[in-house]
Structures are given as structure tokens and as C-alpha cells.
Amino acid sequence: MTQATGVEALPTADFFDYESLLSVPEQRKLQELREFLATEIAPYAGEWWNRAEFPAHILPKLAALELSTPAQRGYSHLFAGVVIAEMTRVDTSIATFFLVHHDLFVESLYEFGSEDQQKRLLDDASNLRTTGAFALTEPGHGSDVAGGMETRARRVSGLTGAADDGGDCWVLNGAKRWIGNGTFCDYMLVWARDEADGAIRGFIVDAALPGVSRSRIENKIALRTVQNADIVFEDVRVAEADRFAGINGFEDTNALLRGSRIMVAWQAVGQQLAAFDVARQYAVERQQFGRPLAKFQLIQQQLVTMLGNAVASMGMMVRIAQLQDRGAADMAQVALAKSYTSARMRETVAMGRSLLGGNGIVTDYRMAKIFADAEAIYTYEGSYEINTLIVGRAVTGVSAIV
């Protein structure tokens, strides 16, 4: 049907051809990813989302693409961002899994892991033989978790507490919430406050350790395929060898959190590309009043606005990637990118939902899923409001947060 209407011959949502900035090998790898997404993800993503089930069976095929932490493999930051955008364009949930596992957990091993930790964990994690989570947010603390963190770590002698047990360990107590991959991950990076000095520490926690309990968060209206969990730690003993040696305070994680925020902004781009794809095809194919929707002036106006939002957002993220390559992207710039792209995304997906009319509220037509998933992106990795205030602080010199 698409071929008959000529949609495939029309310009893509990358209207300014930003992809041409990628190297030839990167463009080839992007095409390989697209083929994987078209065959392994796109036909099934709606049902996974409807059933709130994670497709663990695709992990070996996803690993075979060799796209874990692309910058660590020598790819550009632009390519790394486009990978997340392209995954999001097909299924936001799979992109979110990839981001949490690779850009938070695996990247943490690269950035903060000791030689021993990397030797033990990095190869399996990079190749998705094991999966990881990033346990930061708490039931009572989201945006203020750095200062309000309640999960505690206490250093004791020996894994059992006996004097002759050999080596020190840490006892963790507390709770985490909204932890992506949390129901099934093998390991999680857990953040806790050291009872001795109040410093924030990071720990690699085996999810099978005694005292770890996790339950899936039910009744979500966004990212339903992602398995978010409530996690409780009750006297969980973690060996000193599994404390992240490179983390001595929350400020040590700024580069990591900045990178993940950039990737979520790229998700906002991917959401807009998806919304435009679906809305444009629908407008060209759908007949009303004896002619295609695309022939109505107001429909064309909506499509052009959606396209403009997507192109502007992508242009901002291309510049952020260039700054990353120079090591010069600061948190205020990243916060502006995340707040701007997520605001444009919200407008774009709402227009797309409206354009599909009643069909825009059922997942059969994809747009309802795109519309719902956008709400999660608008909120996580710094809400729109918090990111706005970070930029406001940078441009005025006055903080409105605290």
C-alpha cells in the first residue's frame, strides 16, 4: 500500500540530511541496524507493549550487532546518538533497555570499574550474556536524590560479619524505584550513602544476593515493555571488591549522567521521527471526503510543524555530538537540549495523535504507543522542569532549585 501511494519515494524525516555527516562505515552500520529493527522488532513491538512483556529472546541477536557503547568501539558520538534515535523510532522500550544497560551500566564499568571488575564483568555485559540496571531513584526521591538519598551503606568486617571471614564488605539497606531492567537484570549499579561520612558510593550488586527483593511496577501507560522495578535491600552484603573504586561522591558521576541525558534527548528526536513517519503515511493513505487527508491544508500544516520540530531537535543534537567529540558539552548545554527536544517531542506526538483521529488512540496504528511513550521521555533523566532550571541557573547565575 505504501508503494502504491509513493510514500517511500518522498523525503525522509531527516529533511536536512544530517545522516550524511556520518562516516561511510557508520552509515553501513546504521543500515544494518535498520534491517534488524525492521525484521526483529517492528512487527512485534506493539504486542510486546500491549502485554507489558520484555522480549529476552532477541538479546543474542541485538548483541550480534556489536553496538554496545559505540563511542568505546571507536564510533563518533553522532553515530551513538543516531543509534538510540533509530531504535526509538521503531520501539522506545527497546531503545530504553539498550540505553539503561549499555549507556549506564556498561559505561559505568568502563568509567569507574577497577581492572578486576572489568575483567570479571565487562565482556559478558557488553555482549548481553548478562544484563545490568542502574539503581539510583528512590521511592521518595527523584530529582533531589543526590541530596536526599536514603539508601545506606555500612562497612563491616567479613561477608558474614565474623572477624575471621576474610576481607571487608558493605551492608546495604534501603529501597529504589523506577529501576529499568530491574525485574530481570543480573547485576545493578546501586547508589547508597556511606553511613560513616555521608559520601555517595556506588556498588555492583548481584541481583541474586540474599536480602534483595524486587517487584515489577504495574499499570504503566508508557514504556510498558520496559520492566521497571521497585527494589528493596535488607542487610544485603556486598564485598568491598564490588564497590566501584572510581566513585567517591555523587559528583564523580556527572560525566556518566550527562551522557545518559544526551541519549534521552536523542530518544526525543527518535520519537518525533516515528510520529512523523506514521502521520505522513496515514495522511497520504487515509481517504476522507473523497480525497486523501494529505490534500487538506490543515493536515499539511500539522505535518510541516512536526517535521520542523524534528529537524530542529536533530540539529541541536548534532551540535551536542560535535561538542562531545571535543570534550566540551557541559551540563547546562545538555539540559537545554533535553528540555527543548522533549518539549518539541510532546508537541509533535500530540499533533500526530490528533491527525489520526480516533485511530490515534489504539496501538494498532502505532501512534498511540508513540504518544504514550513520549510522556516517560519528557520526565526521566531530568524532567523538563528540572532541566529548564539548570539552564536558568547557568544563564542568570542564580539557582531556583535550592
Distances from the Cα of 193 to the Cα of 62, 65, 372, angstroms? 35, 38, 34
Distances from the Cα of 248 to the Cα of 51, 111, 137, 241, angstroms? 41, 13, 18, 15
pLDDT digits (tens, 9 = 90+) for 193-227: 999 999 999 999 999 999 999 999 999 999 999 99
pLDDT digits (tens, 9 = 90+) for 334-387: 999 999 999 999 999 999 999 999 999 999 999 999 999 999 999 998 899 999
Backbone angles phi, psi at 281, to 5 degrees: -65, -40
Which of 96, 35, 31, 107 has its CA nearest to residue 68? 107
CA Rg value for the chain? 22
- Residues 356 and 365 sit within 8 Å (Cβ to Cβ): yes
Q: How far is it, in rounded angstroms, from Cα 356 to Cα 263?
A: 28
- Enumerate domains of the chain plus CATH numbers: 2-126 (1.10.540.10), 132-249 (2.40.110.10), 252-396 (1.20.140.10)
Q: How far is it, in rounded angstroms, from Cα 144 to Cα 149?
A: 8
DSSP string, 22-43: S-HHHHHHHHHHHHHIIIIITT
Residue ranges in 246-330 assigned as alpha helix (H): 254-285, 297-325
User: For the whole model, what pTM was predicted?
Assistant: 0.93
Q: How far is it, in rounded angstroms, from Cα 258 to Cα 283?
A: 38
- Residues 193 and 247 sit within 8 Å (Cβ to Cβ): no
Query: 174-200: b or e for each residue (b if 16 or more CB lie within 10 Å)?
Result: bbbbbbbbbbebbbbbbbbbbeeeeeb
Q: How far is it, in rounded angstroms, from Cα 318 to Cα 374?
A: 21
Q: How far is it, in rounded angstroms, from Cα 280 to Cα 13?
A: 10
Give, for all 402 residues of the chain, the pLDDT tens digit.
333 446 778 999 999 999 999 999 999 999 999 999 999 999 999 999 999 999 999 999 999 999 999 989 999 999 999 999 999 999 999 999 999 999 999 999 999 999 999 999 999 999 999 999 999 999 988 778 777 889 999 999 866 544 444 468 999 999 999 999 999 999 999 999 999 999 999 999 999 999 999 999 999 999 999 999 999 999 999 999 999 988 887 777 777 788 899 999 999 999 999 999 999 999 999 989 999 999 999 999 999 999 999 999 999 999 999 999 998 889 999 999 999 999 999 999 999 999 999 999 999 999 999 999 999 999 998 899 999 999 999 999 999 987
